[in-house]
Amino acid sequence: MEVELISVGTELLLGNIVNTNAAYLSEQCALLGLSMFHQSVVGDNEERLAEAIQTALGRSDVVILSGGLGPTKDDLTKEAAAKVMEMPLKEDKHTRKLIAEYFKNSGIKTVTENNWKQAQVPEGGIVVDNDNGTAPGLILEKDGKSVILLPGPPNEMQPMFAKSIFPYLNKLQPEMICSCMVKICGLGESYVETQIADLIEKQTNPTLAPYAKTGEVHLRITAKASDEKEAKKLIKPMVRELRKRFGDYIYSTDEHETLAESVLKLLKERELTLTTAESCTGGMLAARLTDVPGASEVFKQGLVTYSNKAKRKLLDVKKTTLKDYGAVSEKTAKEMAKNGAFVTGSDVCISITGIAGPDGGSEEKPVGLVYMACSLNNKVTVKEYHFQGSREKIREYSVVRALTLLRSCILESDGKES
C-alpha cells in the first residue's frame, strides 16, 4: 500500500520552522510497512492545496496531511480536503463540546467565534479526538482511498497518530507489522554497520535497518506475519544475534527508553545516588536526567561550575591544579568528579569540562576537547574526547558520552564491562 505526505504551512516553505512532522510520519509509515514515494510541502492556499491532494490521490492509496487545521482564516486544509472528497462541512456536536471543555479547563472564559470553526467537519468523515488541543483529526474515506488530516503542532500530532492513526493504518495492511528497536551506545555508526553487513545483505523477513543518532546507533528490526505473535517470533532470533555481537553496548530494546532512562534504571537497581558536576555543558546533563520521571530517587544534585572560582568553591578543585593544568584537563575533571561525590555525599559523580567553542581554543587545547570523569566506589575513570561540529553539537555529544561513561562504570563495578 502506498502512502503520501503533504505538509501544510507557508511557514514551512519560508523555513521559519523545521518540518519535524514529516520526519516523524515517514518513520512511522516505514514501521507500518507502507511504501512512500512522494512528499510535498504546500503553503496556506486552498486552490494549490486541493490540487496537491488531487494529485496525491491519483498515485497513492493513503494521503496524510499535517497542519492547517487551526481556527484562523489561513487554516484551509480541512476545506480543501472536503472539496476534493466532495464531503460538505457540518458542525459536529461532540467536537464542539470537547472544544468548550478544553477552554474551560484551560481557564479561558472568552472563546472567540472563530474557534468553533474547528467543530466543522466533512460529512461522513471519521472524527479523531485531540487529547492535547482543539483541532480534531479527520479520516476521509472514498473509493478505496483515505485522506488523513492531522494537526500541525507535534505535541498534538504525534500522540494522535500513535493512539488512533497507527492502528487505523495497521488494519488496512493485509499483514501484521511488528518491530523492535535495539539501541546501542559507545560504538560508532561505521563500526556497527560493518558488524551487521552480513545480516543486512541476506535479510528478507525480518529486515534490519540502522539509524544514526547523536552518540548512539539504533537498529530497527521489522517483521511481517499473519499476526503479532508470529511476527515477534521472527524478531527474537535477530535480537539474540545482535546481543551476541554487541553485548552490553546494547542499552535497551524498548522503543521508548532513552539512554538517560537506562542509566537511571541501573542506578536504582543498585541503590546508588548520583551527582553531576558540569562546566562546558552548563547543566545539560542534569536536565537530561531530570527529564525522566522518578529521577529524584537517585539524582541528588547537579552542580554547574562554569568558572574556575565555582570549581574551587563548590568542588574544591585545587588552585594549583587550575593554574598548572587548566580548567580543561584530565586532572581537573578527575578532581571535579571525586570531590563532587564527596561534598554531596553521593555514591557516583560524573563530571564534564571542555571547550565547546566557537572561541577559546588553542593549538594545544582545540575547540571540541572535552574531558569527563566518573567517580564510583572510590575509583575515578577519566576519558578524553575530541568532538567536532558546532557549539551545540559538541555539548550534545558531551552529554551522550557522559551518560555512556556513567553506564559503563556502573556495569564495570558489577564485573561487566562494555
Give the pLDDT of residue 106. Answer: 87
| DSSP class of 257 | -
The CATH class of the 2-172 domain is alpha beta
* pLDDT exceeds 70 at position 417: no
Average pLDDT, stretch 177-197?
Answer: 94
**Residue range 176-252, CATH number:** 3.30.70.2860
Helix or strand (DSSP H, E) at 14: none
**Residue range 259-413, CATH number:** 3.90.950.20
Q: Which residues contact 157 (CB under 8 A, 6 or more apart)?
A: 21, 24, 66, 150, 151
**Per-residue pLDDT band at 175 (split at 50, 70, 90):** confident
Query: Alpha-carbon distance 338 to 314, whole Å?
Result: 12
Q: How large a percentage of the chain has pLDDT more than 70? A: 99
Give the pLDDT of residue 416. Answer: 54
**Per-residue pLDDT band at 79 (split at 50, 70, 90):** very high
Q: How many residues are there in the chain?
A: 418
Q: How far is CA 44 from CA 49, 83, 122, 205, 240, in A?
A: 8, 15, 19, 42, 49
38, with CB counted inside 10 A (0-12, 13-18, 19+), is: middle
Contact status, residue 353 vs residue 327, Cβ threshold 8 Å: yes
The region that residue 47 occupies, defined by phi over 0 for left and psi between -120 and 50 for alpha, beta otherwise, is: alpha
Got the DSSP string for 143-207? TTEEEEEE-SSHHHHHHHIIIIIHHHHHHHSSSEEEEEEEEEESS-HHHHHHHTHHHHHT--SSE
Nearest to 133 by CA among 104, 108, 102: 102
Q: pLDDT, tens digit, for every residue of 232-273? A: 999 999 999 999 999 999 999 999 999 999 999 999 999 999
Query: Alpha-carbon distance 212 to 56, whole Å?
Result: 30
Average pLDDT, stretch 171-194?
Answer: 91
Query: Alpha-carbon distance 349 to 69, whole Å?
Result: 48
Average pLDDT, stretch 366-376?
Answer: 98
Nearest to 408 by CA among 207, 192, 249, 231: 249
Domain limits, the chain: 2-172, 176-252, 259-413
